[in-house]
Amino acid sequence: MNYQTYLPAISLLGGIIGIAAFMSLWTQDMTGLDLISSPYTDFQKYVPLIALILCIAAIGLSAFSLTLGTIWFVPFLVLMLGVIILAVTSVFTMWYHMDVKMAQGIGVWISYLSGAVVMLGSIIQYNTALRNYRKVRSFL
């Protein structure tokens, strides 16, 4: 076993950071869990939940790659999940309610970190998987 076997753990760590982001404050006094049952009627109150679901999907795909080996398209799917996590978090930062910006908590920044770590892990994993594929192909 070499270091390439454990590269999906970087994206797995990013997904775990995303779970911590959901439990952190997204607004001044509400966590992602509190926002779901809040009295706000805007769709942005569900953004932390969407980011959590995307992080859980990234964890699942990364765990799949970690246990069964890297299939060439899985790091690309994890990369797309990381991009979507960043995009969804950006949608939340644009939320104004009664002319007050809602995104004032640390959970937003932790969610950005989560998306970035998921993306970084998948880029590193995809780069090494592609390099190995080229070596095998040139050998044939």
Range of the domain at 89: 3-139
Q: Is the predicted pLDDT of residue 3 greater than 80, yes or no?
A: no
Determine phi and psi for 25, rounding to 5 degrees: -75, 125
Q: Is the predicted pLDDT of residue 12 greater than 90, yes or no?
A: yes
pLDDT digits (tens, 9 = 90+) for 32-69: 888 888 888 888 889 999 999 999 999 999 998 888 87
Average pLDDT over residues 55-84: 89
Q: What's the Cα-to-Cα distance from 5 to each of 70, 89, 93, 120, 131, rounded to whole Å? A: 8, 30, 36, 16, 14
Outline where the chain has alpha helix (H). Answer: 8-23, 32-36, 47-68, 74-93, 106-139
Total count of domains within the chain: 1
Q: Is the predicted pLDDT of residue 132 greater than 70, yes or no?
A: no
pLDDT band (50, 70, 90) for residue 136: low
Residue type, 85: I
